[in-house]
Amino acid sequence: MPLLEVSNLCKCHTAGKTLFRAEASLVLRPGQALGITGPSGCGKSTVLEMLALLSKPTNAGRFLLRLPDQNLDLAALWREAPQRLAAIRRRHLGFVHQGGGLYPFLSVRENIHLPLLLNGFEKTPDTNARVEELLDFLGLASVADKLPETLSYGERQRTAIARALVHQPNLVLADEPTSALDPETALAAMRLLVSGARERDSALVVVSHDHALLEKAGIPAVAMQPLAEKKSGEKCYSLVLPAPRSEAPTEKPAAVPALPRWNLPLLHWLALRDFRHERALSFCAVLAFAAALTPLMVLGGLRTGVIATLSQRLLNNPAALAVNPYSSRSYSEKDIAALQALPQVAFVVPQTRTLASTVQVTRPDRPPVSADVLPTATGDPLLERYTSVPPEDGAVITRELARSLPHVAVGQILPLTITRRVNGRPESVVYPMRLHGILPDAADWKAHIYVPSALLLDMERYRDGFAVPKRGWPGAEPSGEQRRYAGFRMYVASLEAVIPVRDELKRRGIDAYTFAREVETIQGLKSALTLVTLLVGGVTLAGMAFSLASLATANVRRKALFFAQGHLMGLSRRELLLLPLLQMGFTALLAASTSLLLYGCAAIILEFTAAPWLENGEHACQLPGAHIAALYAGAFALACLCGLASCRHLLTFRPEEVLRRDA
């Protein structure tokens, strides 16, 4: 039963005005060897490239690979599903070319093992034995662990022969496999190729211009013959092997086994080994990438560190969120309600005239102490933060006031004397105040008493000469007119709200005292740092992206033979595309980690320098975990984009041309 049946397999090339045509008709049985000879330029390589499924025939009468379990119509596959040919190359073909095409980053043993791994054979004692057997057979045992660059030409070529035989392909093809060797070594290598193929029952086609060598190696050789020109300027050569015509297969060609799914670990291994082999270049790329990322991280760290520290400091100041009018005015209930309704306002309580809010704390046997009374109400952020809002009959005093009242304790009743003058006569009432809490100096450093706003308003009413019947305070009959307020205490919801609320009050004619300047300074600093980060980041990353993309493209071009050899061994195009992408991924990962390390050092130095200025728990340079994760993701995405730029080149590259050029 023949293995390979080819008739009128034809390839045309046009070079300028001349048309070149090579034709072949031959039949090969398993284990059979065939030599193709002929003068240089007669189309030997062209025929072999067609047999190796590297270049598409211009025309094919018949192009069949008959395997024990299936017949593959290669001509039909070229027409209908050329992407499936990779699986056939991988499993059924072995190729030795003139340059050897060994992977420089794999040892001799690993180079030979590769086709087995590509075909899904794990490293087992059985596959290892197969490799060792070939190493012995080809006399490579002593150099098995060396890299190809340290080998002699002869050893390299024998390694390439071993690699073409190891997976026991049905068909082994060799294009001038020994042309770079001296005659003796060449003959030895050729003999090994022939016997190796015969032992594995593989059919063998060897191209060589050296007819004598083929004869000596016991390979029956056929020369390509020039055909008569049909037109002027047309060169035709044909290779015809007389063979009995066999029946065309009647059954439809069986489906070609699909390529195994992505063999990710193997691709990863190949990409990593190459990356490591070219460590100097890889190191440069990583370092350059890291040089672009590190300043970004440090700027980002400063932005979050310093700004967060300053903002937190401001927030720690209880007055930071306060918006208090400078001067007294007259506000109606409606005005106060309108202020309360402002979206970013968290708390408003109406206030009386300052002059009317001074009281005396009078205790027996002690001199009276004066203090100003301030209104409070449920939700007062200042009191809620430090103590709590006092109930109806309670009050909170400041530490400053408490210092003037020896032995004062929470829960005690303190008498407050409220005085007024009616027709020049002094009058007063005493209000028993229950001490609910004491505010620390950090909250308010003046002598103040915080009371529920209703009490303060009653005090004002009493001072104005009116009676407050529910408290038993005498005076004139209260008039029915609307209540008016002299001011208010206000807190906004966040630091960001300080400036808008201040501006809104200004629009309503109220000048308010705020920490807006400090907030503005911090916000300005934050925007400046953001801008600098964006500017520095934009420029460095754009430059980085261009240089990485060029590096990736240059790498792909430089390693064209690597990719062509991968194609020969049955790596699909998408798998080849993944290799530079994976390497870009390694670059990004290492670069991001390097910049993280450098950033760590910079952060330590910054923290150390800023230490005298920092308080407990504060940082000068701090990058949140989410930002670091985003940085890794960004670096990865950028690297992948750069890798994709190089893939464009891979999509259009022609392996057969690369193999010719680099042979």
Is 522 within 8 Å of 314 (Cβ atoms)? yes
Least Å distance, CB 189 to ligand ADP, is: 19
With CB cut-offs between 5 and 8 Å by kind, which of ligand ADP, Mg ion, none does residue 232 bind? none
Which range, of 40-48, 353-361, 416-424, 540-548, touches Mg ion by CB under 5 A? 40-48
The closest of 162, 174, 170 to 200, measured between CA atoms, is 170
The one segment of 3-11, 39-47, 150-158, 195-203 that binds Mg ion by CB under 5 A: 39-47
Minimal distance, residue 226 CB to ligand ADP, in Å: 12
Minimum separation from the CB atom of position 249 to ligand ADP (A): 29
662 binds, among ligand ADP, Mg ion, none (CB under 5 to 8 A by kind): none
Nearer to ligand ADP, 15 or 413 (CB): 15
Q: Which is nearer to ligand ADP, 98 or 376 (CB)?
A: 98
Instruction: Return the H-helix or E-strand segment holding 18.
Output: strand 18-28
Question: Both tokens of residue 139?
Answer: 């006399």
Name the minimum Å distance from CB 177 to ligand ADP.
13
15, interface contact from ligand ADP, Mg ion, none, CB < 5-8 Å by kind: ligand ADP
Question: 74-113 mask for ligand ADP (x: CB under 6 A)?
Answer: ----------------------------------------
CB 373 within 8 A of CB 451: yes
The strand pairing partners of 414, in sequence order, are: 433
Min separation Cβ 41 and ligand ADP, Å: 4
- Burial bucket for residue 353 (CB in 10 Å: 0-12, 13-18, 19+): middle
Distances (CA, A) of 476 to 168, 421, 463: 118, 13, 11
Is 157 or 170 the residue whose CB approaches ligand ADP more closely? 157
Within 8 A by CB and 6+ apart from 577, the residues are 647, 650, 651
Residue 465: name its binding partner from Mg ion, ligand ADP, none (Cβ under 5 to 8 Å by kind): none
Cβ nearer to ligand ADP, comparing 179 with 195:
179
> With respect to Mg ion, which residue has the nearer C-beta, 45 or 311?
45
Number of residues that bind Mg ion (CB under 5 A): 1
Cα R_g (the chain), whole angstroms? 45
Q: Name which of 57, 112, 66, 62 is nearest 88 in CA terms.
A: 66
Q: How far is the CB of 43 from ligand ADP (least distance, A)?
A: 4
Number of residue whose CB is nearest Mg ion: 45
The tokens for 535 are 């500017």
The CA distance from 90 to 570, in Å, is: 4
Structure tokens at 604: 């330590």
CB of 237 to ligand ADP, least distance (A): 8
Cβ 152 to ligand ADP shortest distance, Å: 25
Interacting positions 17-46 with ligand ADP (CB under 6 A): 20, 38, 40-46
- Closest C-alpha among 196, 219, 242, 455 to residue 351: 455
At closest approach, how far in Å is the CB of 44 from Mg ion?
5
388-392 own/partner pairs: CB under 8 Å, 24+ apart: 388/436, 388/437, 390/434, 390/436, 390/437, 390/450, 390/451, 390/452, 391/436, 391/452, 392/452, 392/454
Nearer to ligand ADP, 44 or 158 (CB): 44
CB of 264 to ligand ADP, least distance (A): 34
43 binds, among ligand ADP, Mg ion, none (CB under 5 to 8 A by kind): ligand ADP
Out of ligand ADP, Mg ion, none, what residue 119 binds, judged by CB under 5 to 8 A for its kind, is none
Residues 6+ apart with CB under 8 A from 175: 44, 45, 48, 95, 96, 97, 98, 207, 663
- Spatial CA neighbour of 293 closest among 592, 637, 621: 592
Q: Pattern 639-658, binding to ligand ADP, x per CB under 6 A?
A: ------------------x-
Distance CA 34, CA 402 (A): 111
Residue 45 interacts with Mg ion (CB under 5 A)? yes
Among 13, 198, 273, 329, binds ligand ADP (CB under 6 A): 13
Closest CA to 505 of 381, 350, 347, 339: 339
User: Judged by CB under 5 A, which stretch of 44-52, 357-365, 485-493, 505-513 contacts Mg ion?
Assistant: 44-52
> Are 138 and 185 within 8 A, CB to CB?
no
| Smallest distance, ligand ADP to C-beta of residue 205, A | 13
DSSP code for 89: H
Query: 273 is in the binding site of which of Mg ion, ligand ADP, none (Cβ under 5 to 8 A by kind)?
Result: none
The site partner of 41 among Mg ion, ligand ADP, none (C-beta below 5 to 8 Å per kind) is ligand ADP
Contact status, residue 244 vs residue 212, Cβ threshold 8 Å: no
Cα separation, 21 vs 133, whole angstroms: 42
The item of Mg ion, ligand ADP, none sharing an interface with residue 40, based on CB under 5 to 8 Å by kind, is: ligand ADP
CA distance 296 to 302: 10
Q: How far is the CB of 45 from Mg ion (least distance, A)?
A: 3
The nearest distance, CB 297 to ligand ADP, in angstroms, is 50
Q: Segment near Mg ion (CB under 5 A), from 38-46, 243-251, 291-299, 314-322?
A: 38-46
Shortest distance (Å) from residue 42 CB to ligand ADP? 5
Report d(CA 565, CA 100) in Å as an integer: 9
By rule CB under 6 A, what string of x and - marks binding of each residue 598-637 to ligand ADP?
Answer: ----------------------------------------
Identify which of 287, 347, 231, 311 has the alpha carbon closest to the alpha carbon of residue 520: 311
Would you give the end-to-end CA distance of the chain in angstroms? 35
Spatial contact of 45 and 219, defined as CB atoms under 8 Å apart: no
Residue nearer to Mg ion on the CB measure, 45 or 583:
45
- Residue placing its CB nearer to ligand ADP in the complex, 239 or 306: 239
How many residues at the interface with ligand ADP, by CB under 6 A? 12
Site for ligand ADP in 145-184 (CB under 6 A): none
Given the rule CB under 5 A, which residues bind Mg ion?
45
Given the rule CB under 6 A, which residues bind ligand ADP?
13, 15, 20, 38, 40-46, 657
